[in-house]
Amino acid sequence: MSRAEQTGPEQIGIRKGLFGVHGSGDTSGYGGLVQAVTLPGSSTRPYGGYFDEIADELAAGLAEMSARAPGYDEAVEKVVIFRDEMTVHVRRQHLRPVALTLRNRDALRFELCLGVNGVHYPDDHDRELHAVYPLASITHNRRVRLEVAAPDSDPHIPTLTDIYPTNDWHERETYDFFGIVFDGHRSLTRIEMPDDWQGHPQRKDYPLGGVPVEYKGTRIAPPDQRRSYN
């Protein structure tokens, strides 16, 4: 398998200190650490293996759709080949046509979606919330991943539950923990946390909470007052 070349990582921020703490006196991390927060860059052709076939077939399917309704040829933002896995980054308004193309086109036949995972990148301006969909083709024994981004200020992504019905509970869980709103979901309610819970616990800006602890005569502050994570 030939390996695709990367255009270089995309830097979205700078992390200072091991835990991102500022001015707390926390000594549990190396406060002098400065590290770039990066995402993998776009890959260039050839991708290698069956990845080029997937890219070609997806492009052909979207071109056919664009001939009927212009715009679909711009659905894919970039393709990333990283650690021998293929991720297709898609503009959220085109997520459904891309998913339908991957599922229905004979040369693709990605019949199975293994759920949706939320990711929170606080430093990725106007793209803080990401939804990641691992797809599998049982027919061709292949894997691909879709990734979509949405801003904190407008955390809406179209549902895929009518295309991949098994995503029902996965979308509810991602909404529960990250606050991503899946438009068109028939019952987008919390699935883990109580209905009246405030906030979304797996976001990186969610407070850790806790209570102070007495230890050998010293009062240890709750975690969210000792350090912060980013």
DSSP per position, 190-219: -SSS-TT--S-TTSTTS------EEETTEE
pLDDT at res. 150: 97
Q: State the pLDDT at residue 1.
A: 43
Q: Is there a contact between 44 and 81 (Cβ–Cβ < 8 Å)?
A: no
**Overall number of domains in the chain:** 1
- pLDDT, tens digit, for every residue of 43-58? 999 999 999 999 999 9
The answer to whether residue 203 sits within a structural domain is yes
What's the token pair of residue 69?
């309704």
- Helix or strand run (H / E) with residue 223: helix 223-226
Q: For residue 169, is it within any domain?
A: yes
Q: Does residue 30 fall inside a structural domain?
A: no
Can you list the residues of the chain whose pLDDT is less than 50? 1-2, 230
Whether residue 131 is contained in a domain is answered as yes
pLDDT reported for residue 73: 84
16 lies in some domain: no
Q: How many whole angstroms separate alpha carbon 64 and alpha carbon 18?
A: 49
Q: How many CA atoms lie within 13 A of 30 on its CB side?
A: 5
Length of the chain: 230
Q: What is the pLDDT of residues 31-85, one digit of tens each?
A: 667 888 888 889 999 999 999 999 999 999 999 998 888 888 899 999 999 989 9
User: Cα-flanking dihedrals φ and ψ of residue 181, to 5°?
Assistant: -95, 120
Residue 220, domain CATH: 3.30.460.80
Q: What is the pLDDT of residue 157?
A: 98
- Kindly state whether residue 14 falls inside one of the protein's structural domains: no
Question: Is 18 contained in some domain?
Answer: no
The pLDDT value recorded for residue 212 is 75
Alpha-carbon distances of 48 from 105, 108, 141, rounded to whole Å? 21, 16, 16
C-alpha span between 206 and 200 (Å, rounded): 7
pTM of the model: 0.85
Beta bridge partners, 13, equal 37
Whether 27 is covered by a domain: the verdict is no
Q: What's the pLDDT score for residue 211? A: 73
Which residues constitute the domain of residue 177? 42-226
